[in-house]
């Protein structure tokens, strides 16, 4: 049976699709997701460094898979007519943290990037020459996903605060909604592709084909320059003689 | 079919909402093609063929989710939230790669500084 030779893009698509499906199935079936546990621990550690205040960032996973956040922000909440009556009268209240839940389907977006990244790197051409992109990219993905989770926690905390304060600021509200959309629905999906294309030279040069001729011409330039110079010197010597 | 809902006799249905129609990755592809240094004729070709490729795959996605949802809600969630989203982006990257190859073969590839 003759071997079927596929063009590099078709091979990348087929291998990538199979590996993405296989890795995501493994990620989905894992009873205790080690990526999730690592991410939550790293986020709480990073949160302790980034968020200052009396309370600290805590993220816990409920039995149904939803994530419960407790984010330290310390606004002063003015009294509202709908608030509980206070014996001391209507006075502003200092709060120290805001808690909210994130649905499992949204929370999963912060851990599924790593299996997708591994699938893309393994599916890419010339893995042997570009194997370093796997460990470096894994580290980069881990750092970026923790940062993304912390940013999302902050956005969602301010969104909850705006609801508590019954804010009617249209510009601020738009930015919070847009930030949440990017952090939950866009960046987690694009991140593994961006990191893979950035780190894997073979994929980058093949997809953006202008990089290869430019890099080649850069390498050849000093040699061509020396050759041209030699040619000039020969012509000058011939004229003199 | 009930408007934008595809419903099975058993009651399960999938609805094609904004965001399920592949428009997000189509916009991504358009941005990449329009930003790439290539002649306008080839850009128009890439926009048309690329949009068609993404929409065809999205129809396949929609139909597969319809059948998968009747089989298992858990596998539907995996396919809907993660697998098909990733495959659509992968398809978009490969469509862009093929288009750049076409531009390169036509001899019309310009470098960014040109």
Q: pLDDT of A108-135, one tens digit each?
A: 778 889 999 999 999 988 888 888 899 9
Could you give the 3-state DSSP secondary structure of residue A132? Answer: coil
pLDDT band at B111 (very low <50, low <70, confident <90, very high): low
Q: pLDDT of A186-234, one tens digit each?
A: 899 999 999 999 998 888 887 777 545 544 444 444 555 555 555 666 6
Q: pLDDT of B3-60, one tens digit each?
A: 777 777 777 777 777 777 788 899 999 999 999 988 999 999 999 999 999 999 999 9
How big is chain B by its Cα radius of gyration, in Å?
A: 17
pLDDT at A96: 80
Residue A46 lies in a domain: yes
The number of distinct structural domains making up chain A is: 1
pLDDT at A21: 95
Between residues A5 and A173, which one has the greater pLDDT? A173
**HEC letters along chain B:** CECCEEECCCCCEEECCCCCCCHHHHHHHHHHHHHCCCCHHHHHHHHHHHHHHHHHHHHHHHHHHHHHHHHCHHHHHHHHHHHHHHHHHHHHHHHHHHHHHHHHHCCCCCCCCC
Residue A66 lies in a domain: no
Q: What is the mean pLDDT of chain A?
A: 79
Give the range of the structural domain holding residue A110, as residue numbers without chain letter: 8-53+104-209
Instruction: List beta partners, residue A100.
Output: A69
Interface test with B, best of A7, A11, A13 (most B CBs within 10 A): A13
Contact A10 B94 (CB under 8 A): yes
pLDDT at A194: 94
ipTM of this predicted structure: 0.85
Is B83 near chain A, with CB under 8 Å? yes
pLDDT beyond 90 at A165: no
Residue A138 lies in a domain: yes
Sign of CA dihedral A104, B72, B88, A14: positive
pLDDT at B104: 85
pLDDT at A86: 58
Mean pLDDT lowest for which of A26-40, A44-58, A89-103? A44-58
Residue A233 lies in a domain: no
Angle between helices A133-164 and A34-50 (to 10 degrees): 60
Residue A123 to residue A118: CA distance in whole angstroms = 8
pLDDT beyond 70 at B75: yes
Between residues A78 and A81, which one has the greater pLDDT? A78
* Residue numbers of A between 113 and 142 with CB closer than 8 Å to B: 116, 120
Mean pLDDT lowest for which of A54-63, A85-94, A165-174, A187-196? A85-94
Residue A225 lies in a domain: no
Contact predicate A123/A16, CB 8 Å: yes
* Cβ neighbour number for residue B11 with a 10 Å cutoff: 7
Domain spans in chain B, listed from the N-terminal domain onward:
17-105
* Residue numbers of A between 50 and 109 with CB closer than 8 Å to B: 105, 108-109
* Chain A environment of B24 (Cβ under 8 Å): 186
Between residues A202 and A138, which one has the greater pLDDT? A138
Between residues B103 and B114, which one has the greater pLDDT? B103
Short-list A45, A53, A47, A43, CA closest to A75: A53
Q: Is the pTM of this model over 0.95?
A: no
């Amino acid at each position: 049976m003759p071997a079927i030779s596929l063009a590099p893009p078709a091979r990348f698509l087929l291998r990538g699709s199979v590996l993405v499906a296989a890795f995501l199935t493994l990620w989905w079936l894992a009873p205790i997701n080690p990526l999730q546990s690592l991410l939550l621990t790293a986020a709480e550690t990073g949160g302790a460094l980034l968020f200052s205040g009396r309370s600290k960032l805590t993220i816990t996973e409920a039995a149904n898979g939803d994530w419960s956040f407790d984010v330290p922000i310390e606004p002063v909440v003015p009294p509202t007519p709908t608030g509980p009556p206070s014996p001391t009268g209507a006075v502003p209240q200092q709060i120290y943290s805001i808690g909210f839940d994130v649905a499992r389907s949204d929370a999963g977006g912060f851990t599924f990037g790593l299996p997708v990244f591994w699938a893309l790197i393994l599916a890419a051409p010339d893995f042997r020459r570009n194997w370093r992109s796997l460990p470096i990219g894994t580290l980069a993905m881990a750092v970026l996903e923790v940062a993304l989770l912390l940013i999302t926690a902050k956005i969602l905390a301010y969104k909850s605060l705006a609801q508590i304060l019954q804010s009617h600021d249209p510009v601020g509200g738009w930015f919070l909604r847009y930030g949440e959309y990017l952090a939950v629905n866009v960046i987690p999906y694009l991140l593994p592709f961006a990191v893979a294309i950035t780190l894997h030279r073979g994929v980058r040069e093949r997809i953006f084909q202008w990089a290869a001729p430019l890099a080649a011409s850069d390498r050849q330039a000093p040699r061509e320059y020396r050759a041209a110079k030699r040619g000039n010197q020969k012509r000058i010597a011939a004229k003199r003689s | 079919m009930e408007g934008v809902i595809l419903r099975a006799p058993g009651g399960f249905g999938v609805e094609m909402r904004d965001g399920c129609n592949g428009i997000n990755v189509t916009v991504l592809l358009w941005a990449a093609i329009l930003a790439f240094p290539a002649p306008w004729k080839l850009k128009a070709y890439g926009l048309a063929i690329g949009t068609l490729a993404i929409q065809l795959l999205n129809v396949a996605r929609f139909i597969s989710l319809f059948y998968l949802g009747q089989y298992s809600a858990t596998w539907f969630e995996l396919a809907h939230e993660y697998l098909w989203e990733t495959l659509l982006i992968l398809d978009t990257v490969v469509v862009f790669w093929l288009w750049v190859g076409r531009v390169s073969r036509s001899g019309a590839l310009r470098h960014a500084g040109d």
